[in-house]
Amino acid sequence: MSKPWTRRQVLAQMGIAAAAVHTLDPHELCCATPAWAQTADKELFELQKVGDGVYAAIAAPRYKTNCNAAVIVTNDGVVVVDSHSKPSAARALYKEIQGITNKPVRKLVNTHFHFDHWQGNQIYAEGNPGLEVVATQRTRENLTRPDAGLGGIPFVEKQVTTLLPAEIQKLKDDVMRASNPEMKARLESNLQQAEAYFQELKSFKPTLPTRTVSSTTTLQEGGREIQLHVFGRGHTDGDLFIYLPKEKIVATGDALIDWMPFMNDGYPEDWVQTLSALENLDFAQIIPGHGTVLPKSNLAFFRGYMADLIAAVRKAAGEGASLEEMQKKISDDLAPKYEKGMSKYPIGQYRDRVGVNVEMVLKKVVKKA
Ligand SMILES: [Zn+2]
Ligand SMILES: [Zn+2]
């Protein structure tokens, strides 16, 4: 079993192109890595054992960052949680799973509707006739809703018709303008990846949930108990938590990640409550949507950031501060407590997102848009 990605490896992968990352498109803000990461021949996942027959597939940092997956092997099959941003990434993990067990994948769970958590569904469906794809009822609805946010069939169409052509054109322009040979090579690699992703999405086959849950459900899967928890709104309005009570492991999707939360499709106040409900479960390890496997204690840190952020925005709004004033002051005020812990990776860092988070809390909590 190989070791998790170290910060040094991550930085080596990103190289100097990280310096060029500042023009984030909205679709890159959630969970995606902007167009700078490494080439397609690198490994996509590190499979880490977190319990007997339970693995965390920790996504390598790269172009269109993939989400992590949880892989749960039972006596008669496999349950996989989340399927990444594209079929080729799901195929890569599926191959790794087949290296662990020759049992079929019986169930695929999508924690929420964001593009980087479901766009690889088709690979598991193609390889496993009878596969059940499980999500909340709300997630299934979001996957077809035009205005749901950063995921779903309409968002795939938006990527193909608008976002990716624009991104590819920008990369082409950046390649032309690059003066540094190393930067130019990196951008050319990014361009190749963007074009490959574009091609993949053109032949994308939407594979929607076949089974939905609306409240907490317990599955007995080949001798293993797997609980699916619905605690209410959080990162989205359809978040699903996967809990293994015996193994004391929880998979959270992006409701809990190891970098700054993406709040644009979220419900900040509900999210705090949802995390408190999650905390009531008896677990020791968290497989987050992004980043490495975490101890339970990280939940309080992550929730604390959101609670403190909400309180700070409310206070500043009450004092009549402008958005710009709030962004500056709150970024600095919360930094001593949160900047280091929220900036462990070169992506999704505190200063990259705190301004947008302030804006979202103002809009969603104070102005109740
Ligand atoms: Zn994500
Ligand atoms: Zn997400």
CATH of the domain at 136: 3.60.15.10
Asked if residue 340 belongs to a domain, the reply is no
CB atoms closer than 10 angstroms to residue 219? 19
- Domain of residue 234, residue span: 7-149+206-301
CB atoms closer than 10 angstroms to residue 132? 16
Asked if residue 250 belongs to a domain, the reply is yes
pLDDT of residue 65: 73
Name the pLDDT band for 277 (thresholds 50, 70, 90).
very high
* Ligand 1 centroid to residue 340 C-alpha, Å: 21
| pLDDT tens-digit series, residues 17-29 | 333 333 333 334 4
Q: 75's torsion region: left (phi>0), alpha (psi -120 to 50) or beta?
A: alpha
Mean pLDDT for the stretch of residues 140-157:
96
* Ligand 1 centroid to residue 75 C-alpha, Å: 29
Asked if residue 257 belongs to a domain, the reply is yes
* Ligand 1 centroid to residue 21 C-alpha, Å: 19
* Ligand 2 centroid to residue 16 C-alpha, Å: 27
Name the pLDDT band for 186 (thresholds 50, 70, 90).
confident
From the CA of 149, which ligand is nearest?
A: 2
Asked if residue 221 belongs to a domain, the reply is yes
Mean pLDDT for the stretch of residues 128-132:
96
**Domains in the chain: how many in total?**
1
pLDDT of residue 338: 98
Q: What is the pTM of this model?
A: 0.88
* Ligand 1 centroid to residue 8 C-alpha, Å: 22
* Ligand 2 centroid to residue 102 C-alpha, Å: 30
pLDDT of residue 362: 98
* Ligand 1 centroid to residue 136 C-alpha, Å: 16
Residue 11 has pLDDT above 90, yes or no: no
* Ligand 1 centroid to residue 180 C-alpha, Å: 32
Asked if residue 322 belongs to a domain, the reply is no
Average pLDDT value for the chain: 89
* Ligand 1 centroid to residue 29 C-alpha, Å: 9
* Ligand 2 centroid to residue 150 C-alpha, Å: 8
Asked if residue 282 belongs to a domain, the reply is yes
Crossing angle for the helix pair 181-202 and 87-100, to the nearest 10 degrees: 90
Asked if residue 168 belongs to a domain, the reply is no
Asked if residue 325 belongs to a domain, the reply is no
* Ligand 1 centroid to residue 68 C-alpha, Å: 8
